[in-house]
Amino acid sequence: MSLLNNILSSVYRVCVPGVLGQRNIGTATTPLYFKLTQVVGGEPLKKKKRLDPQIIRQREERKKRKIEKQIRRLEKNAGQLKPVDELEVPRAIIKEIDIRKKPVVTISGEEMDKRAALNKAWSAYKYQQHRAEVTMIDQAATARERALEELREESEELWLEAVQIDPTLIPFKAKGPVLTPPIPEYKSPDGEYINVTRIWE
């Protein structure tokens, strides 16, 4: 209502005291020199509280300590490795360990000698095998060097091409011999499966 009054008074610049039945100060003069200001629509702004710098420091320190604690907890857990089920002895077996024990086998001296001799023979065998492999590789390397030399003698350009690195061989993958030969025309079963791998965080 006061708004309307205001508008009216500003447009017509006439004072109509008492006509609208409002609180009004009138001087009954035109132009009107008195004017009501609108009520300021809000309470006065709060004065900003100035905090004690000590308290601020305390708060920051608390925050820091909290983070440090979290880090410490994480570091403590970092030492714990994910459990590997396959490497752990099942509980059932730990329970039955007494009835599962076998009678201790006593090995005769003769058998011990036999085993020691076999161990010796085995290491000699592996040594020979290793030597044969190393010589074979050496031989192949020498043969390649010789071939490259001969090639260089014939044509420098071909030699240059030959000494380039073959990027398709890096990395080199080879599937080794398997225990049983592949079954001809074997169709591997292709079906749905459920992944049972547990997720460790």
Q: Binding of another protein at residue 80 (CB under 8 A)?
A: no
Q: CB atoms < 10 A from the CB of 24, how many? A: 16
Could you say whether residue 7 binds another protein (CB under 8 A)? no
Residues 151 to 170: which contact another protein by CB under 8 A?
Answer: 151, 153-155, 158, 161-166, 168-169
Residue 184 binds another protein (CB under 8 A): yes
Rounded to 5°, the CA angle 133-135-138 comes to 110
Nearer to another protein, 71 or 118 (CB): 118
Of 40, 105, 196, 199, the residue at the interface with another protein (CB under 8 A) is 105
| Rounded distance between C-alpha atoms, residue 78 and residue 82, angstroms | 10
Q: How far apart are CA 133 and CA 126, in angstroms?
A: 10
Rg of the chain (C-alpha set): 48
Written as six digits, the tokens of 201 are 């965080």
> What does the binding site for another protein look like in residue numbers (CB under 8 A)?
93, 96-97, 99-102, 105, 107, 115, 118, 121-122, 125, 132, 136-137, 139-140, 142-144, 146-148, 150-151, 153-155, 158, 161-166, 168-169, 174, 177-185
